[in-house]
Chains A and B, each alone.
Chain A
Amino acid sequence: MESLLAIAIGVLVATSVYLMLARNVLRFIFGLVLISNAANLTLFVAGRLTAGIPPLIKKGEIAPVGPVANALPQALVLTAIVIGFGLFAFALVLMFRTYTTLGTLYSDEMRVAEPREDTVI
Chain B
Amino acid sequence: MDVPNQAAEWKTNIVAGLFPVFLSALIFSWFLTFIPSVADGVSTRFGIDWIPSLGISLSFFIDGLSLTFALLISGIGTLVFLYSSSYIKNHHHFHRFLLYLFLFMLSMLGVVLADNLISLFVFWELTTITSYLLIGFSHETHKGRHSALQALLITGAGALAMLAGFILIGLTVNSFELSEIILEADTLRAHELYAPILLLILFGTFTKSAQFPFHFWLPNAMAAPTPVSSFLHSATMVKAGVYLMARLHPAFAGTDLWLWMLTIFGATTAVISSILAFRQTDLKLALAYTTLMALGTLTLFLGQESGYAMTAFATFLIVHSLYKAALFLVVGCVDNATGTRDANTLGGLAKAMPITAIVAALAAMSMAGFPPFLGFIGKELKYAGALGVASEPILVAGAVLVANSLMFAVAAIVAFRPFWVSSKTTYPKQPQEAPFAMLAGPIILASLGILFGIYPDIIEKTLVAPTVASLLGNIEQSKELKLWAGVNLPLILSICTVILGLALYLQHQKLRPALDGIFAKLPTFDQGWDKFLLKFKDFAAWQTRVQQSGNLHQYMFVVFFVVFASLATTTALKNAIFKPPDFSNVTWLGVGLVLLIIGAAIITTVTASRITAMATLGVLGIGVAIVFIGFSAPDVAITQLLVETLIVVLVAIALLRLPNLETEAGQRRPLDAILAISVGSIVTLILLSVLSLPLDRRVTDFFEQASWPEAFGRNIVNVILVDFRALDTFGEIAVIVIAALSAYALLRTTTPQSKK
Contacts and interface: CB of A to CB of B under 8 A. Distances in A.
Contact of B647 (A19, A33, A64, A68): A33
Which of A7, A45, A47 has the most chain B CB within a 10 Å cutoff? A7
Contacts of A18: 605, 669, 672-673, 676
B632 A68 contact: yes
Contacts of A47: 695, 700
Interface stretch (B119-127, B128-136, B192-200, B714-722): B714-722
Contact of B598 (A11, A27, A84, A93): A11
Interface in B692-726: 695, 697, 699-700, 703-705, 707-709, 714-717, 720-721, 725
Given A18-B676, A21-B676, A34-B604, A96 B657 contact: yes
Instruction: From A17, A24, A40, A53, name the one whose CB has the most chain B CB atoms within 10 angstroms.
Output: A17
Contacts of A54: 632-634
Given A4-B586, A105-B659, A21 B557 contact: yes
A108 B553 contact: yes
Nearest to A47: B695
Interface string A61-74: 11110001111101
Contact of B632 (A20, A50, A87): A50
Contact of B582 (A3, A26, A75): A3
Contact of A12 (B597, B716, B729): B597
A26 B632 contact: no
Contacts of A86: 735-736, 739-740
A26 to B, nearest CB: 6
B680 A10 contact: yes
Given A47-B695, A71-B703, A15 B708 contact: no
Contacts of B714: 56-59
Contacts of A34: 601, 604, 617, 620
B636 A63 contact: no
Interface in A1-60: 1-28, 30, 33-34, 37-38, 40-42, 44-59
B553 A51 contact: no
Contacts of B717: 55, 71, 74-75, 78
Given A4-B594, A74-B717, A63 B677 contact: no
A85 B699 CA distance: 27
A16 B560 CA distance: 11
Nearest to A86: B739
A23 B553 CA distance: 6
A99 B508 CA distance: 77
Interface string B579-590: 001110111001
B750 interface: yes
Contacts of A59: 714
A30 B654 CA distance: 13
Contact of B643 (A6, A71, A85, A90): A85
Interface string B741-756: 0110011001010010
Interface residues of B, number: 98
B631 A51 contact: yes
Interface stretch (B156-164, B377-385, B683-691): B683-691
Nearest to B746: A97
Interface in A92-117: 92-97, 99-101, 105, 107-108, 110-111, 113-117
A111 to B, nearest CB: 6
A49 B586 CA distance: 12
Using C-beta atoms within 8 Å of the partner chain, give the interface range for chain A: 35 or more
A72 B700 CA distance: 6
B142 interface: no
B661 interface: yes
Contacts of A95: 654
B594 A77 contact: no
Nearest to A61: B708
Given A27-B664, A51-B630, A88-B647, A7 B684 contact: yes
A17 B704 contact: no
Interface stretch (B4-12, B75-83, B207-215, B543-551): B543-551
Contact of B560 (A21, A55, A96): A21
A10 B459 CA distance: 84
Contact of B583 (A3, A28, A33, A114): A3
B705 A15 contact: no
A116 to B, nearest CB: 7
B708 A74 contact: no
B684 A69 contact: no
B728 interface: yes
A77 B634 CA distance: 12
Nearest to B555: A107
Contact of A10 (B613, B684, B705): B684
B680 A14 contact: yes
Nearest to B560: A17
Contacts of B602: 11, 15
Interface stretch (B223-231, B272-280, B621-629): B621-629
15 contacts: A15-B601, A18-B605, A19-B604, A24-B664, A33-B621, A37-B624, A41-B627, A44-B628, A53-B632, A57-B716, A58-B714, A79-B729, A92-B654, A97-B746, A100-B752
**Among all A-B residue pairs, the 10 with the closest Cβ atoms:** A14-B680, A10-B684, A114-B550, A69-B632, A3-B581, A107-B552, A18-B676, A17-B676, A86-B739, A75-B720
Interface of B: 545, 548, 550-553, 556-557, 560, 581-583, 585-587, 590-591, 594, 597-598, 601-602, 604-605, 610, 613, 617, 620-621, 624, 627-628, 630-636, 639-640, 643, 646-647, 650-651, 654, 657-659, 661, 664, 669, 672-673, 675-677, 679-681, 683-684, 687-688, 690-691, 695, 697, 699-700, 703-705, 707-709, 714-717, 720-721, 725, 728-729, 732, 735-736, 739-740, 742-743, 746-747, 750, 752, 755
Given A23-B552, A30-B613, A72-B700, 18 more contacts: A5-B594, A6-B688, A13-B683, A14-B677, A14-B680, A20-B560, A21-B676, A30-B617, A44-B631, A44-B636, A46-B687, A72-B720, A79-B732, A81-B643, A88-B647, A94-B746, A110-B552, A113-B550
